[in-house]
Amino acid sequence: MITKTLAEIYLKQGDLRKAYEILKVLSEQEPSDKDTQQKLIELSERLGVSSPPLQPADHAKEERIRILKELLNNIRERRKG
């Protein structure tokens, strides 16, 4: 059974690799869990592995931000104009 508690136990025992693998699975199962995502990023830095990619929900958020910034820039340009 894979749980956050098991990952915490591995962390306390110093087994960062096992904790990382568990958190990776948990983050794939529940991509909206920011606590798990943050712990996974921190562990990846400590282990010297590349950070996990952004989850689809994060990609959608980044895309919305990009579109809104583009709209804002267009509005500013029209006001100058």
Tell me, what CATH number does 54's domain have?
1.25.40
Which residue type does 48 have? G
Give the residue with greater pLDDT, 5 vs 74: 5
Domain that holds residue 43: 4-80
State the total domains in the chain. 1
pLDDT at 33 over 70: yes
pTM here is: 0.62
Give the residue with greater pLDDT, 57 vs 63: 63
The pair phi, psi for residue 30, each rounded to 5°, is: -135, 75
